[in-house]
Structure 1
Amino acid sequence: MAKSLYLLLLSVACLFQSCTSQNKELMINQELNSGWQFAESGTDDWLPAIVPGCVHTDLLANGKIEDPFYRLNERKLQWIDKKDWVYKTTFDADAALLQHDRVMLDFKGLDTYADIRINGDLVDSTDNMFREYQLDVKPFLKEGNNELEITFRSPINEGIKKYDAYTYVVPVSANDLAEIGEVEGGKRVSVFTRKAGYHFGWDWGPRLVTSGIWRPVYLKAWDEAKINDLQIVQHEVTKDKATFSALVELDVEEAKPATITVLADGVELASSEFELSKGISLNKLEFEIANPKLWWTNGLGEQPLYNITARLDIDGQTTELSHRIGIRTLELVRDQDEQGTSFYFKLNGVPVFMKGANYIPNDVFPSRVTHQMYQNVVNTAKESNMNMLRVWGGGIYENDEFYDLCDEAGILVWQDFMFACAMFPGNPEFLDNVKAEAEDNVKRLRNHPSLGVWCGNNEILAAWFDWGWKRAEEAKSQDNADSIYATYQKIFHEILPDAVQKYDAQRSYWASSPSSGTGIPADLKNGDEHYWGVWWGKEPFPNYATHIARFMSEYGFQSFPELKSVKQYATPEDYDILSEVMNSHQRSSIGNETIEYYMLQDYKKPKDFESFLYVNHLLQAEGIKFAVEGHRRAMPYCMGSLYWQINDVWPVASWSSTDYYQRWKALQYYVKKGFAPVLVSPYLTGDQFKVGVVNDKLEDIQAELKMKVIDFDGKVIWEENKPVTVAANSSADYFDVNEKAFLKDKDSKNQLFVVELYDGGQLLSSNEFFFSPVKDLNLPKPTVESSIAAVDGGYDITLKSDKLAKNLFLTIGDEDGFFSDNYFDLFPGQEVTVHLKTAISKETLNDVLTLQTLDSSY
């Protein structure tokens, strides 16, 4: 359609909308999120409640418990999940409401075993945190005031009943912290309840098992019909047009004619008359969008979004439902090649290297996560040059706004179903529950262009075949072992892929991460890999660059939060990694000893706790740098690098690159550079020293590679410049020498290699390389000068140093602010300007600004 015609139709549509805005709406939609109270079941101690929320946050808000994250308070709160809790509110139902054909309560999230009563009558009972429940309540309502009461039965007590009734013990990883939870007999009951696994504990999270109304509640009423769902199915995409089907699911009261219209941003694209039949029906309309603008991932293009609306008109009454879409093609390519089977995503016909991280919920209490918190984590991913986040299977199917933000930012989502590190019961009730859960969430999320792939589970196949679970179960009972794995196959090879095929057939399904195919354990040639040889195996950091699969979907290294964050959950008497509080906020069974082991390989022992935190950040960042650069250099063999993890659920020592308070660690600054569209990467492999260049852009680059060796005073010892042509979407080496020959006349303890890639006068990428461990370097004591200039939104801080300032760290004490760069090496004579985003005054900044370098940490 020509632009002028499109604008004409848009103006006509707007006029039409203004003319019909007075039409009677078929649907009434009212929030029921106010006026709630809660109490322990069997008591009359009613207290105000916040909905959405949970019992822990309500107890905290009412001063009944202390902050669960502070010091050792988590241990004092394990009684909460053994109790039943009751929530209640009242609402009015006037005669007009009751005259509607249907009145329904729409629960977007109940956690988890809930008995729902209206005016004392049981309406229904629920048992899945991940499902939405729409309940017909008209028969239970009376004109005037009505009481809605929900009793949440203890997830632990319900779990114990199911555990005891089951014929064998279902294997569960030690991440179910039953001992901390003071569960009868240490029973790991988490797998019997369809609830966020991380609530029962993890090796980076607390055990705080919640109950409550964790997503909104709506009272809905309608006549004639309701639009249950709208699916936009994309067909052909060309430069001139994109063709689609709109699948409109209706719930109809009685057979009669109706008109369904499809609009894009207010412009009518299709309209058709239907003879509706009573009950649930699926109605299809074909439409097209002219001159479509394609949706691209971050770094490759823009993210245009189209608002598609289905409007139902019956006898002049209208109701509508809208979803945003992006027009793009995406496939998970699994082709045989000389090395094995590929595993990469092709977007709009282009193979794309996936750069990103694993993502967990932003709080152990998900109802506390604000829009700003979602915005911060997605913006962090975007600013860090990422194009993918993996929503991990032990958390939650995220709120719609998370996917909306990813749509806007160009971040593809690897979406796990919510199963992680455990086998599951196979009774029909459980399997039916899983089937309904899959339908709910696939249908809810399928229109998002950011949704990239569905994955059945996290590490369960690996646990069965590689962690010894299969052998252990077979040693106890072959029949039980067979039953356990048959249930695995039922869920992950039948129920979940069937749901994807039925409700979202255009997307790929991957049964388990990591694996080499359905039911095939992971190797390095045919699928994705979780590599934990570094960390759990205490293998050296350089192994990150050699242990490489077709797609690296998980790997990581720990660090504690920075001191500013530690102060929010601990006191000075706790400032020792071996203190009781620090140990409680370190959930890895080998955490502290492993950090110390790796630290002493490369660094001298820090002089105090604050210095330990700083050096620990550097250790984590430098370690993951090996992985990020090694994975990217290995493209196209390897086509993805997702480190574990971008965020935290509470303040803790973990593998995160931003802490619970969303403060960037050194790792986040490092991956921002490591994931840049163009990367220059010096590295050692065997006896050779090489410089690789990775270009994610879709055009060739004519550039100049500038290399030099300088000493710590800035003197140039050696240099070489060479023109290079870097092909589009490629990785290749552009410098290759024997390491010993190259270092023959150089001093590795007092000199470093610096490389820069220029396109004319524009610096595309820079990097440096030290040939000796940091602990063996003769680091000077630099004098770093700084000058501060006020600018919009904060300050520009310009820095100079007379000698190498290794890992310059800027901080402003306990004040709030964000530095555009940090933890970087400042070379002699180099001038660097860092922007500080903050609201503090210049006088305060002068008082609190501190500069730290590595040499001062010993």
Structure 2
Amino acid sequence: MKKYFLILFFVTLSLLKGRAQDSSIVLTTNHNWEFLYLNSNGDSAWLPASNDLNIYSCLVFNKIIADPFHSSNSDSLDWVQHRVWKFRCHFTVPSTVVNKKNCSLQFKGLDTYAVVFLNGTKILEADNAFRNWEVDVKNILKQNENELLIVFKPVKEIADSLRKLLPHELPGSEYVFTRKPAMQFGWDFAPKLLGCGILKPIELMYWDDFRFKDIQLHQQSLTDTLAIINAELFYENNLHGNVEMRITDTFIHQTFYTRIIELNDSGKTTFHFEIKNPKRWWCNGYGEPYLFHLKFDLLYYNADTLFSVVKNYGARTIELIQTPDSIGTSFYFKLNGVPVFIKGANYVPSDALMRENISDEKNHDLILAANESHMNMLRVWGGGTYASDKFYNDCDANGIMVWQDFPFACAMYPGDSDFIGKIKDEATDNILRIRNHPSLAMWCGNNEIKEGWFNWDWQKQFHYSVTDSLKIWSDYQNLFEKTIPSILKSIDPQTPYWPSSPSIGWGHKESLQQGDVHYWGVWWGMEPFSSYINHTGRFVNEYGFQSFPSMNCLQQYLKPNELYLYSPALKTHQKHPTGFETIQTYLKRDYDTSTNFENYVYLSQLLQTEGMSTAIEAHRRAMPYCMGTLYWQLNDCWPAISWSSIDYAGNKKVFQYQLNRLYNTYLVSMVKNKNKIDCWIVSDSLINTSAQLQISLWNFSGKLLWQRNLNCAIDAQSSKQYFHLTIDSILKKYDSTEIVLHGELIIGDKKLSYADYFFASPKNLKLQNPEIKFKVASDKKYKMPQTISVSCNKPAFGVSFYAQRKDGNYLGFDLTDNYFSLFPDEKKEIKMKSMNTSSGIAEDFVNCKVLMKCLNEVK
């Protein structure tokens, strides 16, 4: 049997030196893992594993299966979840490691039911993909060859056995017993891929007398002149005597704290330090997300460095304000004492297989896109997982606050002592890991469980007796209203907690008067987009509408002969049971659907944008009654027809580009109010300003019919109507199908926001050929497009640009603007910001063809 020996990769916490140092060996950063495969003939063989150590990736790597994300391949992979899968690696460690007084193995993510053996000895039985595990291996580790074997048991079989232990069925019982992302059991935007694997690094830790574990920072008080911080140092220690703690601000290279502290047998030492005149951490749009980079050095009496680590600290206060008023109760966040109107989205895991290398790269790009589109919050949805450290670090750096759901969703969970014990360990692990991030704004117990219990007829569906119902609801209350809050009170009392999102279901009037609301009257309720206007809650953190991904994404994952509406492969990537029909129903209301597939994709994205624009503008106009809008959803976990604004390939849909306008600090919004058109200006700015509001009426022949300019004094953090006109006064003179009302907000010489108002449905508009002219300026050396200059002779809408290779396949690129309106009196220059190619190289863009599409030509 061929053996693969691990090449050791050494890492340290920082600049560690001296006899009391601790260190680690990472066992998952190499190619020498294997997995055991049993073929259909009953023959078994150890095969090389893929880098990410996910079973599906391993099978693809060895050409046993095709990529689950391509075509209809995921439909034929049910067999994978029913197998026992084994992973192993062989490694050697030097005598300097084996001879250490302490050696342990740390597992930061095993998915999910795993039995771990080291050199034939069972050392761990893991049963939670959200947890860290650590095992003492001092007496098992060998100086020469070691074998680490991990056996993953089938999730479904274990879940089924646990289900049988209960006297009654639970809603969502397929996944409620198993602590892994619920969406992997299949969701309305995600495939069912119940695999297994090693999610995060495995590390061999070794030390003699001292081991640093963590340092946690608690902001005790904060003023403009002083931040007082309580620090908790966690460690394992066999040293005696006092040690010196030094804290250095690495940005200004100044050590501002030097104290003697005492180590003890409890493994925890607390001390305080101060930062004078601290700069505040602010969310995006309200100021700089300033981070202190604090270096902590712990020195033994002989100047040996016990550890050296850098921690980021953001000086800020976050409060959830709920104050009764004449209508209900407010629901908004205060950051550093300032009310913040929340603008953001729901985030789902960025890879259905939870591959960390893919997820971290995608998350980085997603958070940058969120920042660029003026978002200030992302909700980490409860049907997924706790995000990675890098995710929260990126949110810290970009001023994106995080509403963090615990991973429970759309089901009732067991309440036995074993399960509650697992949750206590899981929650403690993750709260301690996440709580120091300044971006963390909220812990939420679950997604839509309270709503499900009171609004989804589970009691009738599962034939519960009164006794059953009381027991199940009591278990809910124990978990989400007692257990989790008590843990938070103990280790993160400063961060607000909300038991369930939403607090009240969208069919009840109270849902719009207090708490948070998931409004699904549009889409699930098939109501028109205009219903968003009359269904604005205090904090709307779910609402959405589906669209197709970009052609670039579709061409990457579907074959050419599968690119047509309702193809079997396309159906595989539509997980909502009535998704196609719902899109088609809404599309027929406003657009001509008798068009080719590429135009259908384009129209679906315009339709999504129409709905989401109606919602966001209504929410922002309703400030301060409404103080938050988080649409469903920012991203995809695989190539899907879904509610996302950015597809799995990283392409921005129409809606994502329009967020630059919808989430801008200043918003112009025009809305029909009976027989009037009201024009509003919304400002999230913290200062008063003066601006010019320009209202123009154009016909589609390119003639400016009239124009009015208004000088506006805009108050800080305000929403106000500045102008209105009666519809009859317009339609007495002009045909409703031949005109558009256009509004612009201008401050200085900059156009900060605009809005268009049509007097008829898009399919009835008599749009004309806009006679668009555009010129592409390419890089002289590489002949790649750099800027696009565009103008028109007649009004054009949904103007979009695409790049196409010589073979006709679409390329993905990010522009400074796209899918915009264009009028005869303006010239626009667009810059290409970045490229997205399946090959990951820019050669695809050499001599590529730039194409233009607009609604005038498609509708």
Matched, 1:283 2:269: yes
Per the TM alignment, residue 687 of structure 1 is displaced from its structure 2 partner at its CA by 3.0
Q: Which amino acid aligns with 2:36?
A: A
| Distance in 2, Cα, partners of 1:540 & 1:823 | 23
Per the TM alignment, residue 827 of structure 1 is displaced from its structure 2 partner at its CA by 1.6
TM-score (norm 2): 0.92
Instruction: Show the counterpart of 1:65.
Output: 65
Counterpart mapping for 1:520-599 below 5 A: 523-599=511-587
Per the TM alignment, residue 254 of structure 1 is displaced from its structure 2 partner at its CA by 6.0
Instruction: Show the counterpart of 1:856.
Output: 857
| Distance in 2, Cα, partners of 1:21 & 1:841 | 41
Q: Which moved more, 1:288-297 or 1:841-850?
A: 841-850
Alignment check: 8 A CA contact 1:72 1:584 kept: yes
Instruction: Show the counterpart of 1:777.
Output: 765
- Per-residue deviation, residues 251-272 of structure 1 (Å, max 9, x unmatched): 2246654444444326444344
Matched, 1:29 2:29: no
Per the TM alignment, residue 366 of structure 1 is displaced from its structure 2 partner at its CA by 1.7
In structure 2, do the counterparts of structure 1 residues 100 and 536 end up closer, same or farther at CA, with 3 Å as the change threshold? same
| Distance in 1, Cα, partners of 2:310 & 2:354 | 26
| Distance in 2, Cα, partners of 1:497 & 1:741 | 58
| Distance in 2, Cα, partners of 1:21 & 1:53 | 30
Instruction: Show the counterpart of 1:101.
Output: 101
Alignment check: 8 A CA contact 1:272 1:285 kept: no
In structure 2, do the counterparts of structure 1 residues 96 and 674 end up closer, same or farther at CA, with 3 Å as the change threshold? same
| Distance in 1, Cα, partners of 2:580 & 2:762 | 21
TM-score (norm 1): 0.92
| Distance in 2, Cα, partners of 1:478 & 1:52 | 48
Per the TM alignment, residue 126 of structure 1 is displaced from its structure 2 partner at its CA by 0.6
Counterpart mapping for 1:331-350 below 5 A: 331-350=319-338
Secondary structure at 1:439 match in 2? helix
Of all paired residues, the percent bearing the same amino acid is 37
Counterpart mapping for 1:624-643 below 5 A: 624-643=612-631
Alignment check: 8 A CA contact 2:346 2:379 kept: yes
Instruction: Show the counterpart of 2:200.
Output: 215
Counterpart mapping for 1:680-695 below 5 A: 680-695=668-683
Q: Which amino acid aligns with 2:176?
A: V
Instruction: Show the counterpart of 1:178.
Output: none
Q: Which amino acid aligns with 1:776?
A: N
Counterpart mapping for 1:171-190 below 5 A: 171-172=171-172, 188-190=173-175
Per the TM alignment, residue 847 of structure 1 is displaced from its structure 2 partner at its CA by 5.4
Alignment check: 8 A CA contact 1:514 1:522 kept: no
Counterpart mapping for 1:195-594 below 5 A: 195-253=180-238, 256-265=241-250, 267-278=254-265, 280-316=266-302, 317=304, 318-367=306-355, 368-369=357-358, 371-473=360-462, 475-515=463-503, 523-594=511-582
Per the TM alignment, residue 21 of structure 1 is displaced from its structure 2 partner at its CA by 6.8
Secondary structure at 1:849 match in 2? strand
| Distance in 1, Cα, partners of 2:533 & 2:350 | 30
In structure 2, do the counterparts of structure 1 residues 769 and 846 end up closer, same or farther at CA, with 3 Å as the change threshold? farther
Per the TM alignment, residue 836 of structure 1 is displaced from its structure 2 partner at its CA by 2.2
Q: Which amino acid aligns with 1:38?
A: F
Alignment check: 8 A CA contact 1:51 1:216 kept: no
In structure 2, do the counterparts of structure 1 residues 230 and 51 end up closer, same or farther at CA, with 3 Å as the change threshold? farther
Matched, 1:804 2:800: no
| Distance in 2, Cα, partners of 1:591 & 1:843 | 34
Q: Which amino acid aligns with 1:506?
A: Q
Q: Which moved more, 1:494-503 or 1:725-734?
A: 494-503
- Per-residue deviation, residues 655-692 of structure 1 (Å, max 9, x unmatched): 00011101011010112210011111111123331011
Per the TM alignment, residue 51 of structure 1 is displaced from its structure 2 partner at its CA by 5.0
Q: Which amino acid aligns with 2:771?
A: T
Secondary structure at 1:134 match in 2? strand
Alignment check: 8 A CA contact 2:405 2:446 kept: yes
Q: Which amino acid aligns with 2:523?
A: W
| Distance in 2, Cα, partners of 1:227 & 1:842 | 48
Per the TM alignment, residue 781 of structure 1 is displaced from its structure 2 partner at its CA by 1.8
Secondary structure at 1:366 match in 2? coil
Q: Which moved more, 1:548-557 or 1:718-727?
A: 718-727
| Distance in 2, Cα, partners of 1:521 & 1:436 | 38
Alignment check: 8 A CA contact 1:465 1:521 kept: no
Q: Which amino acid aligns with 1:241?
A: L
Alignment check: 8 A CA contact 2:22 2:207 kept: yes
In structure 2, do the counterparts of structure 1 residues 845 and 701 end up closer, same or farther at CA, with 3 Å as the change threshold? farther
Secondary structure at 1:190 match in 2? coil
Extract unaligned runs of 5+ from structure 1: 1-16, 173-187
In structure 2, do the counterparts of structure 1 residues 516 and 170 end up closer, same or farther at CA, with 3 Å as the change threshold? closer
Instruction: Show the counterpart of 1:707.
Output: 695
Alignment check: 8 A CA contact 2:346 2:542 kept: yes
| Distance in 2, Cα, partners of 1:243 & 1:843 | 54
Extract unaligned runs of 5+ from structure 2: 1-12, 805-809, 836-840
Q: Which amino acid aligns with 1:799?
A: V
Alignment check: 8 A CA contact 2:349 2:359 kept: no
Instruction: Show the counterpart of 1:139.
Output: 139
Residues paired across the two proteins, number: 822
- Per-residue deviation, residues 147-196 of structure 1 (Å, max 9, x unmatched): 11111111111111111222211112xxxxxxxxxxxxxxx521110011
Alignment check: 8 A CA contact 1:356 1:381 kept: yes
Secondary structure at 2:23 match in 1? strand
Alignment check: 8 A CA contact 2:785 2:845 kept: no
In structure 2, do the counterparts of structure 1 residues 497 and 454 end up closer, same or farther at CA, with 3 Å as the change threshold? same
Secondary structure at 2:379 match in 1? strand
Instruction: Show the counterpart of 1:832.
Output: 828
Alignment check: 8 A CA contact 2:33 2:49 kept: yes
In structure 2, do the counterparts of structure 1 residues 99 and 314 end up closer, same or farther at CA, with 3 Å as the change threshold? farther
Secondary structure at 2:129 match in 1? coil
- Per-residue deviation, residues 764-783 of structure 1 (Å, max 9, x unmatched): 22221111110111011222
